[in-house]
Structure 1
């Protein structure tokens, strides 16, 4: 990762790349270990040497996804400095970019939380909550500074995250909106959600 805005193909080990492809197409329960092994160019025993179960593949993929999301959010906030509006906009932009460029990973994480073992589900929810706290804190800081006027900062922060995550379900690289135009539009929506009015 050169900067938090830069994206290339996901850097995933072959078994996880194969699992991602299969889970995105057929869902966790509709995918067999044999299919993942074939996509990865491995035998089933060869796959099990790296990942002992289908569940471990889902968990490994989810960990890498959430680690990258949180790392990019932290980098965006660090670059933005102390200004509440700059921090808010950087965080929203980072979330939007992630859910455009890592849409399959984000989609699998969102839809397959139901398929995660109980112990790991709690870990995954902890990662998700950590990301939400960053959004909550950015909105709260804007309200405290008098930059945002929403009377419902917690609800606005949740709505913002939902909007950004939702991009992974409909964005297409060959669609009518390019990444920068999509970000500009959604940043406008985000400012309205938190009650930002530009200085006269």
Structure 2
């Protein structure tokens, strides 16, 4: 049995939870999210606690049990507090700026890279090299951070590229000259 799935989810006072058959709607001060829940899982709300239970004891229900609880918990945290990812640009001439709801990155290529910022996501640029991505949907924040990082992943020889905050790149030794 899933140890994660059986934990109840505490709902803050500023978050509203509604059920519409197998769709859960969660709204809070930062936004609104909804998710369709499998028929193998049932969700109930009792005294500001969301409780996730399995409808039957099959293998697929066991797999979805902890996943569903974690997804609902991320939705509650997102609409009440928001999620944040920080990226750092390391390299000579690497910089970022925001122009007209687009993130423009100069990463050493012959052209700047433009990435459109989706709805519900807020990006702030500090000192031209630190990107802070905030949003209420954890999946969308993480995907946008991964997309930005994929434009110039860190390389192990000089350590240049786009890194997550606190990420350590294991450096390699270059060729030795004779």
Short-chain TM bin? under 0.3
Decide which structure has the larger Cα Rg and report it.
Answer: 2
Q: TM-score if structure 2 supplies the norm length?
A: 0.24
Larger fraction in strand: 2
Q: TM-score if structure 1 supplies the norm length?
A: 0.22
Larger fraction in helix: 1
